[in-house]
Structure 1
Amino acid sequence: MTTRETPDGLDLDAVGAWLARETPGLLGEPLTASLITGGKSNLTYRVTDGSTEVVVRRPPLGHVLATAHDMGREYRVMAALAGTAVPVPVVHAHCDDTDVTGAPFYVMASVPGTPYSRASQLTELGPERTRAIADRLVDTLVDLHAVDPASVGLADFGRPDGYLERQLRRWRKQLDSSRSREISGIDELATQLERQLPTHSAGTIVHGDYRLDNALVDADDRITAVLDWEMSTLGDPLTDVALMLAYQQMSASGGGAVVTDAPLAAGYPSPEDVLQRYAAGSGRDLGAMGFHIGLAFFKLAVILEGIYFRHSQGQTVGGGFDGLGDAVAVLVAEGLEATRV
C-alpha cells in the first residue's frame, strides 16, 4: 500500500496493511495521516484515503503511567455504549499487537462536530447557544450515569465498592511514578483526601475526564460524540461531576489556560447551576462535593505532572505544553482549598 507523509507515532504503512486485513473495504489507497492537535495524552490521528476518513488512537510516546492509556478499555466502552442515549463514535477495530505501530491502538469512525475548548469559540455562538450546549453536556452526563452497566455488557468493567479509596491510592502511585521535582502541598492534599474519604459511594459507568472539549458538538448545538474514554470504569458518578466543576474553577482562577477556558464564555452556567441541573436530572445527593472536587484537582495535578515529565524528557508530540509545570501548583492549591470547606 503506497503512503505519503506519516506523523510521529504512527506507522501508516503497517496500520494501513493491518486495516486492510481486519476491515476489508473500509479504506482504499493511498492513505494520508495527520496528527489531530489538542491532545496532550493519547495521540489521535486522522487517516483518510481521500473519500473515507477514520480516526486512529494510540498511547503517548515514551514514559507511560501504569494502568493509563488503555486502548482496549476505550474501545470496549464505546462499543458497549452504542445504541444507548450516550453519543459515541462507531468503533471499527482494536489492535493490541505492538509490532504494528509500536503500541496498541484502535480505529473509530470520524464524527462531525467541534470540541469547544476555548471561550472565544463559544463567544462567537452567543450566550443562548453557549448555555444550550453546556446544559446538554450536563444532560449527557446524567444519561451516562443512568446506563445500567450489566445491560450493555459492562458488569465487570470495574469494581464500584471501594472505588474512591482505590482512586486515591492509584493517583498517589501515579504521582510517585512521575516525580521529578518538589511540588509544594501535593502530599498534604493527598493526606487531606484520605482523612475525608466517604464511607459509601454509588456505582455507575464513569467517564473519568468529562469536560466540553472531550465532546463533539454539531452545527445544531447537539452533542454528536463523547470522546477520550481512557479513564472510564465503574465508580462513583460524583467524580465526573466534580471534574467538570474543577475544570470550570480552573478557568475562573486563571489556571485553566493549559486545558480549557470554555466555561468563561458568556452564557455558560455557573457551578451552582451545573450542580442543580445534574441533581434534578439524576436525583442524586450531591453532598461531600468538597472531597470530590479536591480529589478531582489532585487527579488533574498528577495527570499534568505526568505530561510535564514526558515533555521535559522530550517525549511529547505536538505543541501546547508551555505552562504545564506552573499549572500543577495552581491545581494543588485549588484542591487544598476545596478540602478545607
Structure 2
Amino acid sequence: MTDVDADAVAGMVRACAPEWELRGYERAEEGTDFVAVVDCATPDGDRTAVLKATTAGFVRPEIARSEPRLLALVGRETSIPVPEVYGFADDHDEYPAPFYLMAYAPGENYEDDPSALPDAARERVVREAGGNLADLHAVGELPRVGRVGVRDGDLAVLDYDDGPADDFRAHFARGVEETCDALADGTYFPDRADEPDRFADLADPLRAALRERADALREPEPPRYCHWDYRYGNLLVDPDTGETRAVLDWANLTAAEPAYNLAKVESHLFDAQADGPERAADLRALFRESYAAARDGWTFTPAVESRMETYLLKCRAEAMACLPLWLEDATAEEKDERERQHRDAVADAL
C-alpha cells in the first residue's frame, strides 16, 4: 500500500478543490484504500469532507475512476443517499491516483456487528435497501455484462482480460470457475489466510453443483447497474432509527441482471445461519416486498426466485473465498464459527 503523508493529503485536496486549504485530517481505520476525514478552510467557511485514494491495489484504476462519476450519476438520477463529489483526479504525477473529494456524511458503520442495531432499526436498513436497489436498477439497461469502469473519460462496461461477456450466463459460469479455483487454491487472499485450505474440500462439490445449476439457468433480465457490495460496511446508518444516511463504495458496480444483485445484497444483509431461519426469513420478505413495491411492473416470479437460489449459493462460495479478508481481525474462534455456518449452509444447499 502506498504511504500518504500530510503533504500528499493537502496536495490531493487542492487538486480536487483548488481554493480549499487543509487544516487537519484523520485517517479512517476501516477499508483497504486510503480514506481520510479532512478539515478544510474554504471560501464558504470551514468544511469537513472525505478524501479517498486508490492505494491498496485491489481495484484496477479504470474501475476506481468510475466511483466519483457513479456517485454523481446516482445523486442526479435516483433518491439513493450518496455524498456530493467536490472534485476528482483520474491520474496524477505526484500523488496516488485516482482520488476524489466528497462530502462528509454522518452515521454509524455496523460492519462488525449488525445485530447491535435495534430490531426495528435493522428492519429499516433492509427495507430501504430494497427501495435503493429498485431505484438503481431503474436507471436503465446497459449494453452488456461486466465490470463498470471508465473508458475515454466516460462510464463504460469494460472487457474482461479474455474479452467481453455479452451473456450473463457465460459471465456467471466464469465466476463459478474462478471462485471454486480460489477455494481449492487457498482462497482469494491466501497471504492473509491462517488456514488456506479451510474450504478446499468443498471446492469440487460446489463446482459440480454450480455448473449444473448454471447450465439450467433460465433467460436472465438485461443487465443494469448493480451495486454488488451493498453491505453494512458500506452503509452509514442512524443508530437509533436505522435510516440509511449514505451508501458508499461505488467502485464496485457490475452490469448484471438485477436478480443477481438482489441475491448478493441478501447474502450481505441477513443470513439464516447467523440470524436464525425465522429472523432471516422475515428480513428477506421485508427486503423483497420493498423492492417489488418500488420497481414498477416487476415481481418475484418463480423463475426469478429459482435463479436467485442459484446465485445465493455462488454468493456463499464467494464469502468462503473472501473469509481471510473479511475476518482478518477476527479471533480463531470467530473464524471457526463462521466456517461452521458456511458449511451448514452448503450442506443444506447441496
TM class by shorter-chain length?
Answer: 0.7 to 0.9
Q: Distance in 2 between matches of 1:19 and 1:229?
A: 20
State the partner residue of 1:204: 224
The secondary structure found in structure 2 opposite 1:49 is: strand
Match of 1:287 among 280, 294, 305: 305
Q: 1:220 to 1:325 in 2, by over 3 A?
A: closer
Q: Distance in 2 between matches of 1:227 and 1:102?
A: 20
Q: 1:143 to 1:21 in 2, by over 3 A?
A: closer
Match of 1:97 among 76, 91, 97: 91
Mapped contact 1:57–1:107 kept (Cα < 8 A): yes
Determine whether 1:242 maps to 2:271.
no
Q: Distance in 1 between matches of 2:209 and 2:5?
A: 45
Q: Distance in 2 between matches of 1:102 and 1:80?
A: 24
Q: Distance in 2 between matches of 1:115 and 1:148?
A: 30
After TM superposition, the score normalised by the length of structure 1 is 0.73
State the partner residue of 2:140: 148
Mapped contact 1:58–1:71 kept (Cα < 8 A): no
Q: What percent of counterpart residues are identical?
A: 22
> What are the equivalent positions in structure 2 for 1:39-118 lying under 5 Å apart?
39=31, 41-49=32-40, 51-59=46-54, 61=56, 64-65=57-58, 67=60, 70-83=63-76, 84-97=78-91, 100-117=94-111, 118=113
Where does structure 2 lack aligned partners over 5 or more consecutive residues?
143-149, 159-163
* Higher strand proportion: 2
Q: Distance in 2 between matches of 1:129 and 1:330?
A: 28
Q: 1:327 to 1:15 in 2, by over 3 A?
A: farther
Q: Distance in 2 between matches of 1:321 and 1:205?
A: 32
Q: Distance in 2 between matches of 1:338 and 1:98?
A: 50
The secondary structure found in structure 2 opposite 1:233 is: strand
One-letter amino acid of the counterpart of residue 196, structure 1: R
**Count, aligned residues:** 307
Where does structure 1 lack aligned partners over 5 or more consecutive residues?
1-6, 255-260, 312-319
State the partner residue of 2:161: none
State the partner residue of 1:195: 212
Mapped contact 2:10–2:21 kept (Cα < 8 A): no
| Farther-moved stretch of structure 1 (276-285 vs 330-339) | 330-339
Deviation at 1:226, TM superposition (A): 1.1
Mapped contact 2:27–2:34 kept (Cα < 8 A): no
Taking only aligned residues, the RMSD between alpha carbons, in angstroms, comes to: 3.9
Q: Give CA deviations for 1:143-187 in whole Å, capped at 9, x if unaligned.
A: 11122257xx98833678423532452464473664463233134
Mapped contact 1:69–1:230 kept (Cα < 8 A): no
Q: Distance in 2 between matches of 1:129 and 1:13?
A: 41
Match of 2:167 among 143, 162, 168: 162
Deviation at 1:235, TM superposition (A): 0.6
Q: Give CA deviations for 1:176-207 in whole Å, capped at 9, x if unaligned.
A: 66446323313432332222112422222100
